[in-house]
Structure 1
């Protein structure tokens, strides 16, 4: 179905090829996981499937890409519209209509699908992705996760033979991600659709995949079954890392596989205590009381009370649309807040000038490009240092820790999603605010970049800053959070130490906790340290 023959892609000004002499084949009806570090070329590989690379992105492509018998050298991207459905990293950027139902029908209108067939496919897609109740909603009123499901649905209605998904579950809560992946799997098995999925949260996809393409970062691609490629891959989900630590062979790809061989490891860990952080006795760094956020008749946050202790990381979790982003914007001060009060050192950020408020509360939004407005990475970093009164080079140093190797002269809009997010994180952290709010900060970040981010957040807490992370990334929460707050319909339904909240939750438990249950270990790092210290 998809064939790359000696494909090399080089962009203008680049010192090396993004893809180099790539030869690979993806058969019809395969679910193929595309993996690699941030900036390794995953989006380039996906874009080459329907000719967006190089017809739209520019650069030079040598070799041949043939999809369903169509050669991208001889056919423009529009010729692939009925063959290849593409969902990008930023769903909102791809929308062209106003409401959910209109967006689902748009592609079919361009393909001249008969109206009665269009109506039937729209209904099928609404049910398939569980978004029927959103059919009349304006797209811009949806949460990030809801927008992502609509974006997937908008290409499914055209019944493409190939489906290309770039980070399709990055904005979805664990349950919604499972639903979407289950729907994609049904398309593969029942209809023979060929699916390429680029996903940093490999723990969600690896056990579904028939094939894995691992981009090494030097332009080459390793192709094989997930188990074969995981044996040599530098990036791997926690269940694979646990298997490597325990010496299991073959390596497990799912919790089910790991639990079948984990008896010995559980015995070795029995009786060992998981380290727990001591409760904070300091006065709150931020106090929120009775916070209410409404959008018309929709109540997003309902009279919520919250205290944030200095030197602690709090994870805010919950299903899509539960009010997480609305809460963060209300705490930051520039978002809507119809009632309630927020205090940081006696001041409400909503009453301060933006530059002053930034020194108290910094927020990295779900769409990081909202904060990028200059022409180069160098200019963005220099402006951040100037506005935050930091030493020159502070922002650039933070960026190099999160996503090293980004050229100074690269335009921010030309960066990958993960690289743009890293840049905005660096811009906000350069001001070293007392309260740091991060809305889905791990979207587009690989495992290594997340480890760097975790190290930076740990430094912030050692300096006495309070950090709030709104996320669906249960593995990141297990690694960094001292406390977890779970929201539902704008209210707090669970609040406590990380292990107490996530271990008992089927949705929010990390892979290690599921494998080692009933033991309360959360990460591979914790297990490794415990085994090293065991007498």
Structure 2
């Protein structure tokens, strides 16, 4: 269905080719998973399938890419629209209408689908993706995860032969991610749709893949094969594979079910050992306090009577399904929403009554959309502006960027970075001011496992220095690794608030892979298991 023949892509001024020597085939009716570290060209490879590369993004494409027999060099994206459906990393860039139902219908209108067929397909897609309750909602009022599902749905309604998806579950809660992956499997198995997707959260998807394409590094030739074979050697792999490597399981398991079948001996080795207890937060000073907080968006309740306090040095993970109110709570803490009722204080001040320059001394927010914070033409200019605004020593922001993104050059334009790289740059910009309270909205979206590990170390260091951190995240592995407490929101209300180990282990939806494999033992992460075995 998709054929790459000695494909290379390069951009003017770039030190290395974005892709080099790609020669492979994606068969019809298979789910093919594209993996590799951030910045190795996964999004570029996907773009060559839809014709966005080079017709829209520019650059030089050498070699040949054919989709259902059509050469993407001679067919522009609109001439491939009936064959290829594409969902990029940024759902907002995908939308052309105002409401959910209109967006689902728009692509079919462009293709001239009969009205009766359009109506039936819209209803089918609303049900498939759990969007029926949102059909009349303005897209601007949706959460990031809800927008992601609408973007996927708008592509599905056209019934393309090939689906190209870039980080399709990155903004979805675990349950919504499972729903989307179930839909993709149904399309592959029942309708013969070919699915090519790139994803960093491999724990969600690798067990469903028929084939894996590994891009090991910039310009390196891909490694293609069975998921088990590739995961045995891949530098990026889910926690269950890392656990299998520690335990010496061969071949490595790809799912929790496979791992549990092999885990009896590992449980025996771990039985006399105990996981390390997270260091208690010594400080008692509140970095933020929320009392009886209620917030509405138009007439829709977003938060209801929320009570929350965050101490200096404490890391709190906000979790819950898409639309539960996590982002609204973070934005209220920086004064972007006016409470209907209740009180909000950050560092002793009320955010809505405090000037932005003064508020920067108390709190910093890294939003879901990093482009909201980035406006300069180069990474170096962004860093220089961040140092100036924060009155920090020159080079402070650049050092943070290097810690998160070791290979990004100073003269790189932020728009040329991947979604994960832009997020890391925005994080560095906010961290430059070293705010006592740091708010992060989906901070691992688009980050590979290595970048996530670097982020964890930076955030741990900040918490150790007394900074309070609040993460709104669907990444259960991040919460298990980093958070002292987990707060779960549902329909704008706090339904759970307690130590991480207690909250996530008691919830099948929010338990990390290691906890599921080794239950009922209280292990949460691969580093916990590794350190315990090495010290035994």
* Conserved? CA contact 2:39–2:218, under 8 Å: no
Q: Secondary structure at the match of 1:58?
A: coil
| Contact 1:285–1:435 (Cα < 8 Å) also in 2 | yes
- Who is 1:420 aligned against? 422
CA-CA distance at 1:339 after TM superposition: 2.3
Corresponding position of 2:390: 388
Equivalent in the alignment of 1:473 = 475
> 1:194-231 deviations in whole A, cap 9, x for unaligned?
00111000000000000001111132211111111112
Alignment of 1:495 onto 2:497: yes
Q: What is the CA distance between 1:271 and its match in structure 2?
A: 2.5
Q: Deviations over 1:114-146 (max 9, x none)?
A: 111111111111111111111111111111111
- The answer on whether the counterparts of 1:40 and 1:216 sit within 8 Å (CA) in structure 2 is yes
**Structure 1, 332-341 or 69-78: larger mean CA deviation:** 332-341
Specify the alignment match of 2:43 in structure 1: 43
- Return the alpha-carbon distance in structure 2 between the equivalents of residues 383 and 23 of structure 1: 43
**Aligned 8 A contact 1:38 1:403 in 2:** no
1:237 corresponding residue in structure 2? 238
C-alpha displacement of 1:279: 4.0
The equivalent of 1:519 in structure 2 is: 521
Shift of 1:280: 3.4
Deviation (angstroms), 1:343? 2.2
Find 1:451's aligned residue among 450, 453, 456: 453
Distance 1:499 1:363 in 2: 26
Q: Which residue of 2 aligns with 1:78?
A: 78
- Aligned residue in 2 for 1:252: 253
Structure 1 consecutive aligned stretches of length 4 or more whose deviation exceeds 3 Å: 278-281
Residue 278 of structure 1 and its aligned partner are, at CA, apart by 4.7
Report the counterpart of residue 173 of structure 1 in structure 2.
Answer: 173
Question: d(CA) in 1 for partners of 2:82 and 2:145?
Answer: 25
Contact 1:436 1:466 survives alignment (8 Å): yes
State the partner residue of 1:188.
Answer: 188
- Residue in structure 2 matching 1:320, options 319, 322, 328: 322
Quick check: 2:316–2:469 contact (8 Å CA) kept in 1?
Answer: yes
- Of stretches 306-315 and 234-243 in structure 1, the one that deviates more from structure 2 is 306-315
Separation (CA, whole Å) in 2 of partners of 1:277 and 1:223: 40
Matches within 5 A, 1:58-457: 58-219=58-219, 220-280=221-281, 282-457=284-459
Alpha-carbon RMSD across the aligned residues, in angstroms, is: 1.0
- Shift of the alpha carbon at 1:6? 0.4
> How far apart, in 1, do the equivalents of 2:40 and 2:302 lie?
38
Give 1:346 shift: 2.1
How far has the Cα of 1:338 moved from its partner? 2.2
Deviation for aligned residue 1:350: 2.2
Number of residue pairs the alignment of both structures matches: 534
Q: Which runs of 5+ in 2 are unaligned?
A: none
Deviations 1:142-177 (A, max 9, x none): 111111001000010110000000000011000010
SS at match of 2:158: coil
